[in-house]
């Protein structure tokens, strides 16, 4: 019998991708607010993640939660981060514990460690102290710590993926540090598949493609999860690259 | 002119001690709910730290905040931790930033790292990843991370003291790990004085006495803050030690 997998935030960019690509191998439950596909028109589970009872209602029979929902912008105000990311994440973990869910895979972010990037203090390793570059980044670090507690205290599997920058085309920017954190759609699918199935029960993992100029360690992602990134932004021809890195810096890409 | 120092939670155990011992050297503003001294009957500033406007009203002219207020028990429920520790701490940092406060000294806790202790994974160093042993401990780790963000982003000085177990008499327990985290009243005073005055502008520091069986690193507390612990639980005569460690384990001491 295939695992029942709840995707929170299945209407976001990564959620949509995973809903499409995992549907043949898992029994999916898609959560979100605004349907983006015909399937979601019919099946999308609405739930306010700030309301614990509504979160509980999503968990019936669930084996694995892919928790993607939440405020996804480094520009988010405190009130948004508090509700969607801090209270919402806690509700997901608590409801998962209560329902005996096996594993929560948490969409963390490079922004949980982004202040190292801002100061160009590289490489960044998973054992480095959290250092958010925004209230959003701090909320992702909080999620990692609360998840570790639920793992240590309650035996819930918890895998945090610090997602870089998912995009179909890395040449949309010409800034080295952004391209270095590119995560292709295929590698996104792979790293989430590995996070669902890997035997490891806890860990903090960078999730980016095999970009040779990367600043973030992939060693434990490869060793613990068996992740084998197949793409790199360097596979794109240089002439494809669009100018305008400075302008893009003001619109630092969100990671979901 | 002496610094104006706001003590939040001045009615707690550590708050009362500091209010008494720092009064001659600083212009104190004492915040709390229930007055515990004659002076507090007259001067105590009441403020709900979950209400941002009330927190702002405490900050006028303040140079340093000693942030001791909050839920102080490892047994605290999520709702208490969320309100008093997460929202309250954020409000203190944001109001401090808005008012140009120089420094916030944050009463963190050994419980922010307590899962290492539970698993006897010693020694614990300040560069180890946060690993709370309770929702309370997780909230203290969150405070450290949010404080680091306010330091990095806004230039606010932020000193986190991971307080061990403050007590007048360490022989109240016979459990080795508890006595190892003992912090005498004199050393409490000293480490807070150093945290107010030290030239360092950010750091995470263990605050315990000079207990030879300690599991937690004091190197950076001594080097960065100039802390020189003068006491040790071993100075107490063995015959003073009360039996009953097992019973005490069920009542793991709170740190404020």
Average pLDDT over residues B201-220: 98
Is residue B254 in some structural domain?
no
- Spatial separation of the C-alpha atoms in residues B121 and B124, rounded to whole Å: 7
Number of neighbouring beta carbons within 10 Å of residue B249: 12
- Spatial separation of the C-alpha atoms in residues B256 and B106, rounded to whole Å: 12
- Spatial separation of the C-alpha atoms in residues B12 and B31, rounded to whole Å: 10
Q: Which residue of B has its CA nearest to A203?
A: B129
Average pLDDT over residues B96-125: 98
Out of A92-106, A224-238, B112-126, least confident range: A224-238
Q: Which chain B residues are within 8 Å of A90, Cβ to Cβ?
A: 78, 82
Is residue B8 in some structural domain?
yes
- Spatial separation of the C-alpha atoms in residues B156 and B94, rounded to whole Å: 10
Is residue A90 in some structural domain?
yes
pLDDT of residue B91: 98
Residues B136, B205, B206, B227: which is the catalytic one?
B136
Indicate whether B245 pLDDT > 70.
no
A148 at the B interface (CB within 8 A)? yes
pLDDT-based confidence at A157, cuts 50/70/90?
very high
The string of pLDDT tens digits covering residues A26-66 is 999 999 999 999 999 999 999 999 999 999 999 999 999 99
pLDDT of residue A1: 74
Q: Which chain B residues are within 8 Å of A135, Cβ to Cβ?
A: 149
Kindly state the tokens that stand for A21.
Answer: 């690509």
- Cβ atoms of B115 and B99 closer than 8 Å: no
Is residue A254 in some structural domain?
no
- Cβ atoms of A100 and A150 closer than 8 Å: no
The string of pLDDT tens digits covering residues B104-118 is 999 999 999 999 999
- The number of angstroms, rounded, from the C-alpha of B230 to the middle of its chain's C-alpha atoms is 19
The 3-state DSSP class for residue B21 equals: helix
Cβ contact, residue pair B141, A145, below 8 Å: yes
- Cβ atoms of A194 and A213 closer than 8 Å: no
Cβ contact, residue pair A149, B90, below 8 Å: no
Pairing of strands B27-30, A27-30: unpaired
Show which residues of A are catalytic: 136
Kindly state the tokens that stand for B181.
Answer: 């985290």
pLDDT of residue B238: 52
- Residue whose entry in the numeric block shows the structure tokens 């793992």: A151
pLDDT of residue A248: 39
Is residue A42 in some structural domain?
yes
pLDDT-based confidence at A172, cuts 50/70/90?
confident
Cβ contact, residue pair A141, B137, below 8 Å: no
**Which carries the bigger pLDDT value, residue B51 or residue B253?**
B51
Q: Compute the nearest-CA separation of A150 from chain B (Å).
A: 9
pLDDT of residue A56: 98
Alpha-carbon separation of residue A186 from A167, A210, A251 (angstroms): 10, 12, 24
Is residue A8 in some structural domain?
yes
- Spatial separation of the C-alpha atoms in residues A107 and A72, rounded to whole Å: 10
Please give the residue range of the domain that contains residue A67: 4-249
The string of pLDDT tens digits covering residues B148-182 is 999 999 999 999 999 999 998 898 888 999 999 99
pLDDT-based confidence at A237, cuts 50/70/90?
low
CATH number at residue A104: 3.40.50.720
**Domain tally, chain A:** 1
Residue B201 has what DSSP assignment? -
pLDDT of residue B246: 36
Indicate whether A256 pLDDT > 90.
no
Out of A90-99, B222-231, B240-249, least confident range: B240-249
- Spatial separation of the C-alpha atoms in residues A166 and B256, rounded to whole Å: 45
Is residue B45 in some structural domain?
yes
pLDDT of residue B1: 74
Cβ contact, residue pair A149, B130, below 8 Å: no
Cβ contact, residue pair A127, B129, below 8 Å: yes
| ipTM of model | 0.92
Is residue A32 in some structural domain?
yes
Average pLDDT over residues B46-64: 98
Pairing of strands B27-30, B103-109: unpaired
> Which residues of A, range 66-125, sit inside 8 Å of B by Cβ?
78, 82, 86-87, 90, 94, 115, 118-119
Average pLDDT over residues A198-218: 98
Q: Is B136 a catalytic residue?
A: yes
pLDDT of residue B251: 41
pLDDT of residue B48: 98
State the DSSP string of B179-204. Answer: HHTEE-HHHHHHHHHHHHH-S--EEE
Percentage of the residues of chain B whose pLDDT score is greater than 90: 89
pLDDT of residue B174: 86
């Amino acid at each position: 019998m295939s695992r029942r997998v709840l995707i929170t935030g299945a209407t976001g960019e990564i959620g949509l991708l995973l809903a499409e690509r995992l549907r043949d191998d898992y029994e999916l439950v898609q959560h979100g607010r605004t349907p983006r596909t015909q399937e979601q028109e019919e099946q999308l589970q609405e739930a306010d993640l700030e309301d614990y009872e509504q979160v509980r209602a999503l968990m019936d029979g669930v084996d694995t939660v892919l928790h993607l929902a939440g405020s996804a912008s480094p520009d988010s105000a405190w009130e948004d981060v508090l509700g969607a990311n801090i209270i919402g994440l806690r509700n997901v973990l608590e409801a998962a514990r209560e329902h005996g869910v096996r594993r929560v895979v948490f969409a963390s972010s490079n922004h949980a460690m982004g202040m190292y990037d801002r100061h160009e203090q590289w490489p960044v390793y998973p054992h480095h102290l959290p250092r958010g570059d925004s209230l959003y980044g701090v909320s992702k670090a909080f999620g990692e710590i609360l998840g570790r507690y639920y793992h240590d205290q309650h035996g819930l599997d918890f895998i945090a993926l610090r997602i870089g920058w998912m995009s179909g085309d890395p040449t949309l920017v010409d800034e080295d540090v952004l391209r270095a954190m590119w995560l292709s759609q295929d590698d996104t699918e792979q790293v989430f598949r590995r996070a669902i199935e890997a035997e490891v029960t806890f860990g903090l993992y960078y999730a980016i493609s095999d970009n040779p100029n990367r600043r973030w360690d992939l060693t434990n992602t490869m060793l613990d999860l068996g992740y084998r990134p197949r793409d790199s932004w360097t596979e794109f021809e240089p002439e494809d690259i669009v100018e305008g890195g400075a302008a893009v810096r003001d619109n630092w890409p969100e990671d979901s």
